Amino acid sequence: MQKKPNWYDKHYKLTMIIPLALLLFSLFYLINFTSKNGDVIYKDVSLTGGTTVTILDNRVNINDLEASLKAQFSDVALRKISDLRTGSQKGIIIETKSSAEDTKAALEKYLGYNLTQDNSSTEFSGSALSTGFYKQLRLAIILAFTFMAIVVFFVFRTFVPSFAVILSAFADIIMTITIVDLFRMYVSLAGIIAFLMLIGYSVDTDILLTSRLLKRGDETMNKAIYGAFKTGMTMTLTAIASISVSLILIYHFSDVLRQIFTILLIGLGFDILNTWLTNAPLLRWYLDAKESKK
């Protein structure tokens, strides 16, 4: 029984143009970005070295404080943290590349009281150490990606399907970095970990798709892809839903988790694109070619 080929059967290869164009744009953008900024991302003080002070003060005005600190620390950045229930100001986060002593002294002068452990948190990180951390975490991501690739090859033992999975994960990360840069997000140590989490999240759906298609038995190709699509989309959408809810709740509370969740959300969005418009057609192309050889 030969079914009439539908639109997808005829043109599925064309769908790859969209992610491919995006990937090329991203690569081009990132190469350009790196040559201009010396690195592939904007780094915050946790990666360059510097001080983060969180003061628990619900009265001080953030704009006045910023104006006062700007005079002494040109690179200072301030953010407000607010209460989850009432939305009122709970405190302010101050970030600068200066030392903890200088930053605290300036703050104490402005606030008119001493900063103690009861009313503030301070994080200081030396610049050599931070740069070292950054290099190591970058290496950790590269290693993680390599290990992941090896396992994928080991599991599927065929080149094209494995390559499609890895390409899709690679595209996820590259596109996510591009968006992060376009939004001028300053990535923290935690943000780097989010990229690591992304490796795990993005290969899940790809592995599902690949194993469903490779072992599809007497199912038609489209049916297998559609079945995997239904499962995979449920997976990704539930992840997106749960992360969005968490993101909304912690948005004004924790910088660390906010960045992790934001990066994951962007990544999961691209994962939909790359799994179903890059990995799926590539895999189908390979299987079609293999079958027509028979």
Partner 1 sequence: MKLTWRIWILIIAIVFSIIAIRPTFKSGIIVTSIDQNSELLKQGLSTGEIIRSINGKEIKNKQDYALITKDLFTNNSEKRVDISTDRAEYTILANKSLDITIDSVPRTRIKTGLDLRGGARALVKPDAEITDAQLDDLVSISRNRLNVYGLSDVNIRGITDLSGEKFLLVEIAGATPADLQQLIGQQGKFEAKIGNQTVFIGGDRDVRDVCRNDATCAAVTSCSPSTSGYFCNFAFTIYLSEGAAQKHAAITKNLSLDNTGQYLSEPLILYIDESEVESLRISSGLQGQASTQISIQGSGSGGTQEEALKNTRAQMKKLQTILLTGSLPYKLSIVRLDTISPTLGEEFSYTIIIAALSSIIIVSLIILIRYRKIKSSLALLLTSFSEIIIILGVASFIGWNLDLPSIAGILATIGTGVDQQIVILDEASRSKTLSIKEKMKRALFVIMSAYLTGVVSLIPLYWAGAGLFKGFAITTIIGITAGVLITRPAFADIIKKIEG
Residues near partner 1 (CB under 8 A), total = 75
Distance between CA atoms of residues 188 and 138, nearest Å: 12
To the nearest whole angstrom, how small is the minimum distance from the Cβ of residue 189 to partner 1? 7
- Window of 180-188, 209-217, 277-285, 286-294 that interacts with partner 1 by CB under 8 A: 209-217
Half-sphere exposure of 228 (CA within 13 A, CB side): 28
Q: Token digits for 146?
A: 């390599």
From 2-10, 146-154, 172-180, 285-293, span contacting partner 1 (CB under 8 A): 146-154
The only residue of 219, 269, 272, 287 in contact with partner 1, by rule CB under 8 A: 219
The 8-class DSSP code of residue 187 comes to: E
Among 73, 163, 186, 201, which residue sits at the site for partner 1 (rule: CB under 8 A)? 201
Which residues touch 76 (CB under 8 Å, ≥6 apart)?
Answer: 66, 69, 70, 94, 95, 96
Residue 207, interface with partner 1 (CB under 8 A)? yes
Q: Which of 11/230 has CB closer to partner 1?
A: 230
- Of 9-17, 32-40, 60-68, 255-263, the segment contacting partner 1 by CB under 8 A is 255-263
Q: Choose between 22 and 206: whose C-beta lies nearer to partner 1.
A: 206
End-to-end CA distance of the chain: 18
Do 15 and 158 meet the contact criterion of CB atoms below 8 Å apart? no
Q: Rule CB under 8 A: which of 51-70 touch partner 1?
A: 54, 56
| Stretch 69-98 residues interacting with partner 1 (CB under 8 A) | 84, 90-91
Encoded amino acid at 195, one letter: F
User: How far, in whole angstroms, is CA 68 from its chain's centroid?
Assistant: 34
